[in-house]
């Protein structure tokens, strides 16, 4: 019963994409920082704090969406924001690994 409730909070496709993006981000980030000699465990912990904050908002809106159906769209908006954040982080990690990133794209990457 609890598992069914938890499954109702998160769209399975959204969760799968999110898990893959988090995994790619962590692997690329660790790889880039190890290769450059700048690996700091604190940066990894800060990354998880930011991800968990946005994911917490996603879960909170999902719970509200059960009662107020107007919030179902908001859950998707928060998910999209989380994916955009992950995408920017992945592109930044690829840049740190030496992949040439166009200036028009890299100006949106916060480092």
Whether residue 90 has pLDDT greater than 70: yes
| Rounded Cα–Cα distance for residues 8 and 2 (Å) | 10
Best CA proximity match to 39, nearest among 22, 26, 20, 52? 26
Q: Give the pLDDT band of residue 110 (cuts 50, 70, 90).
A: low
φ/ψ of residue 100, rounded to 5: -70, 120
Q: What global pTM score does this model have?
A: 0.72
DSSP state of 69: G
Model pLDDT for residues 10-55, shown as the tens digit of each residue: 778 887 888 888 889 889 988 988 988 888 888 888 888 887 887 7
């Amino acid at each position: 019963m609890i598992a069914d409730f938890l499954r109702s909070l998160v769209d399975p496709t959204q969760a799968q994409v999110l898990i893959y993006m988090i995994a790619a981000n962590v692997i690329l980030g660790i790889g880039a920082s190890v290769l450059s000699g700048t690996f700091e465990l604190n940066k990894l912990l800060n990354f998880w704090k930011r991800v968990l904050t946005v994911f917490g908002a996603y879960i909170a809106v999902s719970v509200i969406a059960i009662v107020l159906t107007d919030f179902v769209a908001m859950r998707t908006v928060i998910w999209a924001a989380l994916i955009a954040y992950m995408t920017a982080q992945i592109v930044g990690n690829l840049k740190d690994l030496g992949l040439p990133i166009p200036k028009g794209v890299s100006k949106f990457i916060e480092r």
